[in-house]
């Protein structure tokens, strides 16, 4: 189908964009990658009178690695972040999750900040931000503010972004040492929205036993749901195969899945249990110290 008519604005600086957005107020909608917004327009599920295209603002197209983590500008495409070696090193969860975001072609245009602002509870990047306790930088003509993930997501497709505001960047903090992460989900076709899934982070103590474990779930709650699973797996050996199912059971009691054409609520709850065990095991494995050079360089 075809999108409804709208007035098109293409500012070339952040200042100009904030000016236009201030003037338009609730009538204005920001267009970045368009990979979520344009389908909504084509299906006439959204009818914004004005679109403010930020694609001509090159200063927003960046991925920067700093001491605290990774900062991603509003115009950085998923594909760029996915391929960024420094970002992967600082926050491996970014690439682990991005590989599951839609299809490679969609990732070429879709932006990470756009995906987070879109606040789809079934999308991967909001869950990553929630799990890491990241922040979103918002700007309007007369004010700037930084909002933590816990306060940013209000409901399905609803963030705390106000009319006239532009999300300039998101910041993904890196995790403490001896922490491993994983993103595990089940979708009907690779790249489709997951029936259920989660991002997990496991921190080990000096004896390589679980000290802390938490997860952020997609597709089973109105917002990315962060659950602390430490109580179910504290002291579990990272090398062990078993003992993760208890965490799955704890997670099952925390989620509120809904039924739709693809899966019943009960099936989604079942998936949460299975996928939680799988993700925690994977994350714990990755938290183990890398084998030293003396262990890898064995003579054949």
Partner 1 sequence: MTVPELHEITLRVNGVAYRTRVPARRLLSDCLRHDLGLTGTHVGCEHGVCGCCTVLVDGQPARSCLMFAVMAEGCEVTTVEGLAAPDGTLSAVQRAFAECHGLQCGFCTPGFLTVLTAFLTENPKPTEEEVVEAISGNLCRCTGYQNIVAAALRAAEILREERAEEIVAAGDGDGAEPERAREEAAE
Q: Which residues bind partner 1 (CB under 8 A)?
A: 1-8, 10, 31, 34-35, 38-39, 41-43, 51, 53, 55, 79, 102-106, 108-109, 189-191
User: CB 42 → partner 1: shortest distance, Å?
Assistant: 5
What end-to-end distance do the CA atoms of the chain give, in Å? Answer: 62
User: Left, alpha or beta for 77 (phi > 0: left; psi -120 to 50: alpha)?
Assistant: beta
Which of 234/262 has CB closer to partner 1?
262
Of 51, 183, 190, nearest to 107 by C-alpha is 190
Q: Which residues of 259-279 are buried (b: 16+ CB within 10 A; e: fewer)?
A: eeeebeeeebbbbbbebbbbb
Question: Which residues, at least 6 apart from 41, have a Cβ–Cβ distance to it below 8 Å?
Answer: 3, 4, 6, 47, 48
> C-alpha 174: how far from its chain's center?
14
Which of 192/254 has CB closer to partner 1?
192
User: CB 282 → partner 1: shortest distance, Å?
Assistant: 19
User: CB 24 → partner 1: shortest distance, Å?
Assistant: 14
User: CB 151 → partner 1: shortest distance, Å?
Assistant: 30
- What is the Rg, in whole angstroms, of the alpha carbon atoms belonging to the chain? 20
User: CB 39 → partner 1: shortest distance, Å?
Assistant: 4
User: CB 194 → partner 1: shortest distance, Å?
Assistant: 14
User: CB 108 → partner 1: shortest distance, Å?
Assistant: 5
User: Left, alpha or beta for 47 (phi > 0: left; psi -120 to 50: alpha)?
Assistant: beta
Which of 55/230 has CB closer to partner 1?
55
Which of 105/239 has CB closer to partner 1?
105
CA distances from 29 to 35, 38, 142 (A): 14, 12, 18
> C-alpha 129: how far from its chain's center?
5
Full strand arrangement of the beta sheet holding 194-204: 179-187, 194-204, 210-218, 225-228
Which of 184/225 has CB closer to partner 1?
184
**Do 211 and 202 touch, CB atoms closer than 8 A?**
no
User: CB 225 → partner 1: shortest distance, Å?
Assistant: 26
Question: Which residues, at least 6 apart from 208, have a Cβ–Cβ distance to it below 8 Å?
Answer: 178, 237, 238, 239, 288, 289
Q: How many CB atoms lie within 10 A of CB 282?
A: 19
């Amino acid at each position: 189908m075809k999108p409804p008519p709208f007035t098109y604005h293409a500012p070339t600086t952040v200042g100009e964009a904030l000016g236009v957005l201030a003037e338009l107020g609730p009538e204005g909608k920001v267009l970045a990658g368009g990979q979520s917004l344009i389908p909504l327009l084509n299906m006439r599920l959204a009818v914004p009178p004005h679109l403010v295209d930020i694609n001509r603002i090159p200063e927003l197209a960046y991925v920067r690695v700093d001491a605290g983590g990774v900062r991603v500008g509003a115009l950085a495409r998923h594909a760029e972040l996915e391929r960024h070696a420094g970002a992967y090193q600082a926050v491996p969860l970014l690439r682990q999750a991005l590989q599951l975001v839609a299809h490679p072609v969609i990732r070429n245009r879709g932006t990470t900040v756009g995906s987070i602002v879109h606040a789809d509870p079934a999308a991967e990047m909001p869950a990553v931000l929630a799990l890491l306790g990241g922040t979103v930088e918002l700007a309007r003509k007369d004010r700037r503010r930084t909002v933590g993930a816990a306060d940013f997501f209000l409901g399905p497709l609803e963030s705390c972004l106000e009319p006239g505001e532009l999300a300039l960047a998101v910041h993904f903090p890196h995790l403490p040492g001896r922490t491993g992460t994983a993103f595990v989900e089940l979708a009907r076709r690779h790249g489709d929205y997951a029936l259920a899934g989660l991002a997990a982070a496991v921190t080990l103590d000096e004896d390589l036993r679980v000290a802390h474990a938490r997860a952020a779930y997609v597709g089973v709650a109105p917002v990315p749901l962060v659950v602390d699973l430490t109580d179910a797996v504290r002291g579990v050996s990272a090398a062990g195969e078993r003992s993760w199912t208890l965490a799955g059971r704890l997670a099952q009691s925390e989620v509120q899945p809904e039924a739709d054409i693809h899966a019943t609520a009960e099936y989604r709850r079942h998936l949460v249990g299975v996928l939680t065990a799988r993700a925690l095991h994977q994350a714990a494995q990755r938290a183990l110290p890398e084998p030293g050079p003396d262990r890898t360089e064995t003579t054949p």
